[in-house]
Amino acid sequence: MKNGDIIEKIKFPSPNPKIDLYSVTYFSSGLKVKGMLAEPKAEGEYEGFLYLRGGIKNVGQVRPGRLIQFASEGFVVFAPHYRGNQGGEGNEDFAGDDRNDALGAMELLKNHSKTAAGRVHVFGFSRGGVMALLTGILDKDTCSIVTWGGVSDMVLTYDEREDLRRMMKRVIGGTPSKYPDRYEWRTPLYHLDALLAPVLIIHGEKDGNVSFEHAARLDKRLKELGKHVETLYYKDYTHYFPPAENRRVVQKLTQWMKSR
């Protein structure tokens, strides 16, 4: 069995009559991992959209409505829950070995019967921003990357989020001062020279969950390396955008993806 192979696919209630939803179990580096798949019902080919959630464990879970929103823009959308969640095997690793779950999900989308010529884009929200960048660094077939309110520096997250320090020390094994290599391995800023895909950074400048500094550091480093990067910065918004603006930004980012 190969990474990304579907082991089980069970129909899930969909709030949109034009989109089918499924709970999926797939193979990821020896583990059975859970995820959610959204497929437009209409015949035809669609580009793939890998949705990488934020949070950890029960915080920041995959929401069916969000997947439907992106699928409605003309994508086959898949969102891994990451290992150890929703009944999946293994233990979530906060941008560590669970990056393999994103890479397996990429293979799932590339091989999906409705995915056009294997074209897959990657979207990461919050902690998913790190996952999206690592996926693009490791999978050279990535068509584009969008990071929205995304983490780019794990040490900065440790410094800024006192409420996450206990979890990070438990999952990563200690503090950044004790294990700098473990944090560096999880921080895409150090590995962007290997990135080929264009990047769109979306960030609210009043974000208190993932500071704007994450976007600024990512933007600066990509430009230093001569990579293709574009930005959508919103000076009045926090980590969460008002519903109407959220819909407008979704349309902007999906149009951007399709033009890559």
Q: Which domains does the chain have, with CATH numbers?
A: 6-258 (3.40.50.1820)
Instruction: Kindly report whether the global pTM for this prediction surpasses the value 0.85.
Output: yes
For residue 136, which phi and psi values (nearest 5 degrees)?
-65, -35
Q: What pLDDT is attached to residue 61? A: 79
**Angle, CA of 140, 144 and 149, to the nearest 5°:** 120
Nearest to 87 by CA among 27, 25, 21: 25
- Structure tokens belonging to residue 254: 């999906």
What sign for the dihedral angle of Cα 107, 225, 250, 61?
A: positive
Alpha-carbon distance of 26 to 171, in angstroms, equals 23
Instruction: Please name the helix (run of DSSP H) or strand (run of DSSP E) that holds residue 124, with its range, or none.
Output: strand 115-125
For the chain, the first-to-last Cα distance in angstroms comes to 32
Q: What pLDDT is attached to residue 118? A: 81
What sign for the dihedral angle of Cα 152, 178, 89, 61?
A: negative
Active site members: 126, 239
Question: Could you tell me if 19 and 77 are in contact, meaning their C-beta atoms sit under 8 angstroms apart?
Answer: no
**Angle, CA of 212, 64 and 106, to the nearest 5°:** 70
- Structure tokens belonging to residue 243: 């519903």
Mean pLDDT by 10 residues, the chain (260 residues): 95 95 96 96 95 79 91 97 93 92 97 90 97 98 97 97 95 96 97 98 97 98 98 97 96 96
Alpha-carbon distance of 82 to 91, in angstroms, equals 8
Q: What pLDDT is attached to residue 92? A: 87
Alpha-carbon distance of 126 to 45, in angstroms, equals 29
- Structure tokens belonging to residue 103: 């890479």
What sign for the dihedral angle of Cα 65, 129, 242, 41?
A: negative
Question: Could you tell me if 212 and 158 are in contact, meaning their C-beta atoms sit under 8 angstroms apart?
Answer: no
Alpha-carbon distance of 260 to 250, in angstroms, equals 16
Q: What pLDDT is attached to residue 59? A: 65
Question: Could you tell me if 143 and 119 are in contact, meaning their C-beta atoms sit under 8 angstroms apart?
Answer: yes
Strand partners, 23: 10, 36
Alpha-carbon distance of 218 to 134, in angstroms, equals 13
